[in-house]
Structure 1
């Protein structure tokens, strides 16, 4: 399918100062990608056009039945001047997994990557050149058929928007404070916890608001059945580095299979670390923090890459991890991953794709 181009004339394109601190997800580029789907017709009318509101019928399924999924990845300006994407094929594979679970049509992964690269190349002037900043890429798929009734939509829009961003957390790479909730749950077995769908994030807002009021950056979720087993943080997967092993909760269908998570597991194993994907209770974590057996804790995700956790609050008590400092493993993982992403270090895994 050909991508039609409807571009703003150069004199109408905005010129922004991309130096210094950039807010996350508040600024958007001049253009966006869209294409449409209709049952019996398939995908059609792929286009890049000026960024603008999308007009939808008030009865569109996305409004009433939350039939929507999305992804998040980044484009990086390398130190050699080349533009890099980090494992974008994994994002599109995960998007199709989400689409299947939400009864939505699959997207041709190669075409989607072509669309991403075409749009990023067009908007490359929006990519910040400072290490640590990037161009955030947000692909979205949503149901648009106008009807009131619980069934899959027969019409969809797939679109991609871009946003120049700095650090996700105001703390930057400094350790964050996390609040463990046993009051709310994020996902249940057999549900959509391993799907990147909008409803998961809407359901997390109450706990996040309560944690923020107490001075915590994010929420650590426990399992929905016993409320004992650690699952993930609101925007990240979670890792615990004990004396002799690096542990992350196993993918049991209630946890998002993070691409940075997958990358960290591969790198840590290659460095000779014992890595276990298993169930881990909050009691084991607390005991490790109290005795010092828990050497480090950190989150992983596209937005923050590696986010050290210095403090953990549970049942009214705060526990300090590694004296509230960034640990050497988190530091090494951050430097290796960002080194690959910005072209400062070799890419032994073939994770990088270039634009164009």
Structure 2
């Protein structure tokens, strides 16, 4: 049989959906998660429980910050491809230690394991937050990302640099994926779509930054998954046209590549709230608050490279995506 694919963060939002998709396509999947309590662990357990009945799924409860355990995992399963989605999320989270442990040490251990395991392709999650203080829209992989404005963004930028160094030093093929505001069924409770829906459904107030005059490139989770599974089979190669005198951040003389995965259609947060109200049949109790530190006013993905290279770009409308999310929310919460 072909080697199993490793999916880290498999009890997380995106990792769960990726693992489900791979299993549906007949792949063997090893799913790893440390079940950190950043948000409701019960939700993570519920996701994981939907994967475990598959006879081609092998679940591992493992902290990737443990270097020895990570090396042992790779020795046991002999992976060829790795989809690394595990991370400490959240641009507003202030405790630096979880970011250092998961996003820096955990990623370093992953790189070392991939290097020694002679992995054919490492696909890993970056974030649109790396664009930081950039104001040129849409955000392009070919633009610089040297001004992060949150610690989370800084760790994701560091991941890209670390992976590129391993691609340069050891020839480890790696692809960074910058996700844009992912939402959908089984989503994270700390993100706007879930948080607003839950509060409105319960009749509680929602805090709306900058009077809702904030635009996000909301991207439905199935579109994110489609981009991932298409790219995992596209192993990057050194770009023969790369010019060291005018370096392109998206490509390299090493086997490393960067892609945006976003809807390329930013929506106003006020419109998001209106769609949630319509789907729930309830009005929101709004409280206006300032834009929090680490947030930006607008994001928009340039996905022309993704479309050109794999023939796909996200296109699920926010109305359709919110309808599907609220349907799942009612079922999951019995509402």
> Given the two structures, how large is their TM-score scaled by the length of structure 2?
0.24
Q: Which one has the bigger helix percentage?
A: 2
Q: Which one has the bigger strand percentage?
A: 1
> Given the two structures, how large is their TM-score scaled by the length of structure 1?
0.23
